[in-house]
Structure 1
Amino acid sequence: MSEELILVTGVSGYIASHVAKLLLEDGYRVRGTVRDLSDEGKVAPLKALVPDAKHPIELVEADLTKDDGWDKAMEGCAFVLHMASPFPDLTTANVPEDALVKPAREGTLRVLEAARAAGTVQRVVLTSSFAAVHGEAAVDPEKNYNEDDWTDVESPDLDSYTKSKVLAEKAAWDFIKELPDERKMELAVINPGFVLGPPLMESHKGSTSVNYMTQIVNRTYPAVPKLMFPVCDVRDVARAHVQALTLPEAAGKRHIITTDSFWMKDVALAASKEFRPQGYNIPTCQLPYFVVWMAGIFNKTYKNHLLPRLGKVMKVDNKRMVETLGIEPTALDCTVQDMIYAMIDLGIVRKAKKYKQVGSRAEVPPAANGEIEDEKKDKGTEKGGEEQEKEKEQEEEKKELEPEDKEEKDEEIKKDDRQPSEAKEEKKKNNEEQKEESEAEK
């Protein structure tokens, strides 16, 4: 299969770049679509993903909202990974439905039609979302959500992004079902939860996932709401796409990709454990209900989508991911910590003065000259820094003492601080008293 051509749409995306990297490392021929070939900020990093690839990545220009370029993009392709999709910044105001839902559905159909017309495509792997499995505000804590579940597009509390993912995926299934036998293609769908993990390009700072983690690291908010959602590692999602390309049992199926369901506080604690000692003030406190309720008065997203989910447990089945695709989920700590190291290395978030990691575990280039910013300034002062840390620990220990213990410790300190002459006088006095007591006993 490695000599057959694979098309990756929206190849500069957060997930798609990981998919392209995996394919190139495995020796596949990869063609990727970008909206603008003159955008060096995206094109250059793509070409540098795997410098020694057996087949250098090929890039073509194509836009989901236009017909131009898709026939050329699809020419000679045996497999298609359709990953391009409009993705709004969900932290801002609601995105108008016409600006997202219609382009997502029409863009998917445009790609599928081009694949059908090419006559060489055997299978399409579509990137959908867990939002297409369950995207309503209400959560049933007793239910274990799986691939048989579908979000109700008629639900009044759906946001534009969720609705777009449901309608785009449904349109894809309908398209494949209606193809004549002589034009049949296979379809496999990937439904990832909230994707975290290391970005590969600086341009990924605009993705919802990276933006979310940036806010955590920069302490944009002092606390996190009590929300639970399914989380997955971007590298697991990428591997799922590659596996779904050829596995016979993946055809005609949806595949939920998730490590597990986690509270937002779990994510923050995973970050804090590694980066608080390095000078990052990660918020790990729980945001009180009334604060979110108050915010909902001014923000419909908070009112309609966050409030109903506060404190609700969500259970999700990842059996198909593990048993069909053969992917063991990456641990949350590794996902979160690798993500932040990569964001620091790429300059998406700042380097704290105490940051000591040279390079990262995210397979991105290390810092310039192998040194961390401000590390030179710290050289020669490490001893002083250690002494300050020791004094701080002693001070904290002193504060924790019980009153009687504190008095005893203070008395010992006073004794130690006395002048040698005073100590000598007291010793002499004690000796004389002992001598008198001894004579009295006689």
Structure 2
Amino acid sequence: MGGAVIDVESKDLVLVTGGTGYVAGWMIAGLLRNGYRVRTTLRDPGKQGAVKKAVEGAVGDTGNRLTFATADLLRDDGWTGAADGCRYVVHVASPMGQGASRGTDLVGPARDGTLRVLRAAAAAGVERVVCTSSGLAARTPTVPGERQPLADENTWTDPAEPGLDEYARSKVLAERAAWDFIRGDKSGMTLTTVLPGLIVGAAMTRHVSPSLELVARFITGKVPAIPHVGFSITDVHDLVDLHIRAMSHPAAANQRLIAAGDFLWFADIAQALREAFPDRAHAIPKRRLPDWIMRASALFSAEARFMVPLLGKRREFDTGRTAQLLQWRPAPSRDAVIRCARSLVENGIV
């Protein structure tokens, strides 16, 4: 994924939150490739070197075009300075739910952190903030049967939905708080929210995100049986491309954009990986995991609790509005999964 960074000194400064994150890393790389200057926030300033090294592995020498600010979503300190001088803000950072113990508060950090970012951006005269939300925030009410109603930009998940996990709830409430803020803001700043599916793609470092870890577990035989669960999938590079389009395109102002690709059951993912990696096919599962085992596992596994409400539900999205406004279409999900797996193999991660 290498390549020279465009040296266009007149390009604007963009703040990307949460620079150590998987999506943030590729967001920084994508912005630099398009000639923007980037400032990214870190909770720990000691990680500047690692982030710079990872980004430069993707785009080449960044020179003085990548800078850092210290800021934490849980604290007010640092956000005013981080946003100062920026034309755009891309708010990617959010607490993750996978692996969290029962009672972990994800809503507070996600919602309050988003509001800290928005307040700082408005005070700094930022033109537009693009927030990464989630397709989990656009879930239609469950109906009997496998195929669920198609969701679009007008669909909102009910945060009081029985069984809704804390991560999904945090994404809903954080996005709602962002829209409430922008409706009352007098600065003239605009907002765009982007709602992806399960995000997969090339690895930037050896530390992989939970979604990449899922693909890694399939290809290394660490999934003994396949639960009847699936997701709409978004390639990380398509997601970055959409954020950059949404950041500056007039038509994206104050829009909610669906960025979820086509739906794959876990069984489809396993089949695609067996076909793409015949030398590993013996390790990739074929056997179906009974639903009752997944439900029982939810008593002690946060990962299982996250997946139980998704059992047997085919949830799909309409990206027509996004395509109409920004001429954006996601890559086929099968291709995205295979590219992700190939990156994990080629980089020696699996």
User: What TM-score results when the alignment is normalised by the length of structure 2?
Assistant: 0.89
- Counterpart CA distance in 2 for 1:244 and 1:20 is 15
AA aligned to 2:107 is V
Per the alignment, residue 163 of structure 2 pairs with: 157
User: Which of 221, 234, 237 is residue 235 of structure 1 equivalent to?
Assistant: 237
Most deviating of 327-336 and 232-241? 327-336
- Counterpart CA distance in 2 for 1:69 and 1:300 is 33
Per the alignment, residue 377 of structure 1 pairs with: none
Most deviating of 290-299 and 14-23? 290-299
Change (3 A) 1:108 1:305: closer
Change (3 A) 1:19 1:135: farther
Deviation at 1:163, TM superposition (A): 1.0
Per the alignment, residue 50 of structure 1 pairs with: 59
Cα distance per residue 1:181-233 (max 9 Å; x no partner): xx120000000011111121223x2x211221122122122221112321111
- Counterpart CA distance in 2 for 1:229 and 1:48 is 30
Cα distance per residue 1:4-43 (max 9 Å; x no partner): 1111111221111111111111111111112212124434
Per the alignment, residue 13 of structure 2 pairs with: 5
AA aligned to 2:81 is K
User: Which of 279, 282, 285 is residue 283 of structure 1 equivalent to?
Assistant: 285
What are the within-5 Å matches in structure 2 for residues 42-441 of structure 1?
Answer: 42-53=51-62, 56-88=65-97, 90=98, 92=99, 94-98=101-105, 100-119=106-125, 121-134=126-139, 141-180=147-186, 183-203=187-207, 205=208, 207-277=209-279, 281-296=283-298, 299=301, 302=304, 306-349=307-350
Per the alignment, residue 4 of structure 2 pairs with: none
Deviation at 1:301, TM superposition (A): 6.4
Higher-RCO chain (CA-CA 8 Å, sequence separation at least 6): 2
Task: Determine which structure has more spread, i.e. the larger CA radius of gyration.
Answer: 1
Change (3 A) 1:306 1:161: closer
- Counterpart CA distance in 2 for 1:137 and 1:97 is 25
Residue identity over aligned pairs, in percent, reads: 37
- Counterpart CA distance in 2 for 1:219 and 1:136 is 34
AA aligned to 2:11 is E
Q: Which has the higher helix share?
A: 1
Change (3 A) 1:50 1:293: closer
Deviation at 1:46, TM superposition (A): 3.0
Deviation at 1:324, TM superposition (A): 1.9
Cα distance per residue 1:45-85 (max 9 Å; x no partner): 23444224576311222111122221221110010001111
Cα distance per residue 1:312-366 (max 9 Å; x no partner): 33232111232222222212332112212222333322xxxxxxxxxxxxxxxxx
2:59 counterpart SS class: coil
Aligned alpha-carbon RMSD (Å): 2.4
Change (3 A) 1:271 1:176: same
The answer to whether the 8 Å contact 2:137/2:157 transfers is yes
The answer to whether the 8 Å contact 1:95/1:160 transfers is no
Task: List gaps (5 residues or longer) in structure 1.
Answer: 350-442
AA aligned to 1:178 is G
The answer to whether the 8 Å contact 1:94/1:159 transfers is no
Change (3 A) 1:159 1:117: same
The answer to whether the 8 Å contact 2:275/2:281 transfers is no
Most deviating of 25-34 and 128-137? 128-137
- Counterpart CA distance in 1 for 2:196 and 2:102 is 22
Deviation at 1:136, TM superposition (A): 6.7
- Counterpart CA distance in 1 for 2:123 and 2:308 is 46
Deviation at 1:156, TM superposition (A): 2.8
Task: List gaps (5 residues or longer) in structure 2.
Answer: 1-7
